[in-house]
Amino acid sequence: MGGGPLPIAVQRAHMAARWPAFRFGNIGGLRQAARWVGEVRPQFTRFTIELRYRLLEMPEVRVLRPALVCLPENPEGKLPHVYPPADDPVLCLFDPAANEWEGSMSLAETTLPWALDWLACYELWLMTGRWTGGGRHGSHIPSLGGLI
């Protein structure tokens, strides 16, 4: 993709156009950091999710409601494809080694849809015990600066 990081105002405009039901807010009154909260229904269940983004950092998506259910003995781990901590997991939506995301990309066209993909796969994982969405588990949380 290339180019510099998209300013928050541009990300906000993209989000409003694509996902108008998501509410926008600045984080701590900063113009460099934003938060969107909205309700989605990828497959069967309604979830309220939060997307937090600080310029030059990695976007973070959390599920606010309902509480995510874990499967303790599952081969994918008790909650697949997330970053710890277990009591406040962040969904891990792209492989940092594969250069799939950078700050010049629109959150509305990448992060948000990828979170929906995660939730859809999570729903079927809860139903079948199998994660069919692919991906891999690594051993470390990537350096965020390298993504921008």
Which residues sit at the interface with another protein, rule CB under 8 A?
A: 18-21, 38-46, 66, 69, 76-86, 89, 92-96, 98, 100-101, 108-110, 113-114, 116-118, 120-128, 130-141
User: Considering the complex, what minimum distance in angstroms separates the CB of residue 88 from another protein?
Assistant: 11
Nearer to another protein, 13 or 124 (CB): 124
What gap in Å lies between CA 100 and CA 45, rounded to an integer?
28
Residue 32 Cβ vs another protein, minimum distance, rounded to whole Å: 25
Q: Which is nearer to another protein, 28 or 85 (CB)?
A: 85
Classify residue 78 by burial, with Cβ atoms within 10 Å: 0-12, 13-18, 19+: middle
- Cα separation, 46 vs 17, in Å, equals 21
Eight-state DSSP code of residue 98: G
Of 32 and 74, CB closest to another protein? 74
Q: Which is nearer to another protein, 4 or 140 (CB)?
A: 140
Look at residues 108, 122, 111 and name the one whose alpha carbon lies nearest to residue 43.
122
